[in-house]
Amino acid sequence: MIGTPGKWSTESLADAFGERTGFRQVIDMARAVLDLDAGTLVCDGVDLTALDGLVLKKVAEEYSPDALDRLELLRVAEARGVRIFSPAERVIRLMDRLACTVTLRGADIPMPPTTITEDVTAARAALDRYGAAVFKPLFSTKARGMVLLDSDAPDAEAQIAAFKAANPVMYIQQKADLSGHDLGMVFLNGAYVCTYARVSQTDSWNTTIHSGGKYAPYDPSPELIELGRRAQAPFGLTFTTVDIALTPDGPIVFEVSAFGGYSGALKGCGIDAAALVADHVLQEVSA
């Protein structure tokens, strides 16, 4: 189990494997050592290249370019025949918000109008077109580091400049009308599992749990499930969640999660995703 020691989702998944196999090991990639000459990838005395499989729950506490380097280390284990769920190279395509967006748009998935630029003049022009926009870091989760700007804000240029200073490549997305909630649609190995809603409890512009949102069950239409299925299909992940919003102009997809929403599945749908993932992985490595 690759994850963050002490975190609920990591420990729950490790427990699920321990209950089924008698073997329980949480791997913190910050402690991993790759020896290319020896062909080993060792963490806390365990050579990851000697295992039957690895389950990737979290490669770092926060998304960052450094986290991509940890995934590159795991590719060495994959090259030596270790199966990783989800495969490292597929997760790499998701952790960078721009890479995820390019793949989704290439698959003709409806998304909010989006502009990516390093030019502050072009960024201001995009904000004027959108009226209100969310400036998003390329590496972040739970809306961390995101900035909501209105085109008529008197300090808009200063806020754009401040965002640019921390994020040289600016990802600018038109603010969507979420009507107080958005959805997390859960898939296991490409098969639909359930959908939960994140319902805002405050006047925050986003519905994330980090900003006070609460989980609730949601029963999607077959058409909405098909949209979620199409959105996650290009990535080929073991377990994932598709973030969907229902707007006055129809459903849109924000992103596909690299690691999936274990807490949302449990609290919103009453489904133990850790048990489902453990059963699936053990069936795969035993085949």
pLDDT digit string, tens, across residues 114-153? 999 999 999 999 999 999 999 999 998 777 899 999 999 9
Q: Which pLDDT belongs to residue 181? A: 84
Q: Which pLDDT belongs to residue 208? A: 55
Bridge-based pairing of strands 181-188 and 214-217 is unpaired
Can you give the residue ranges of every domain in the chain?
8-94, 114-174, 177-279
Q: Which pLDDT belongs to residue 236? A: 96
Q: Which pLDDT belongs to residue 205? A: 46
- Low-confidence residues in the chain, pLDDT < 50: 205-206, 211
Which of 110, 99, 49 is CA-nearest to residue 77? 49
What's CA 250's distance to the chain center, in Å? 23
The answer to whether 54 and 85 have CB atoms below 8 angstroms apart is yes
Query: Which CATH superfamily, name and number, covers 114-174?
Result: ATP-grasp fold, A domain (3.30.1490.20)
Measured CA to CA, the distance from residue 82 to residue 27 in angstroms comes to 15
Measured CA to CA, the distance from residue 204 to residue 180 in angstroms comes to 9
| Bond into 86 cis (ω within 30) | yes
Q: Which pLDDT belongs to residue 201? A: 54
0.95 exceeded by the pTM?
no
Which of 114, 263, 104, 248 is CA-nearest to residue 184? 263
Overall fold of domain 177-279: D-amino Acid Aminotransferase; Chain A, domain 1 (3.30.470)
Bridge-based pairing of strands 83-85 and 53-55 is parallel
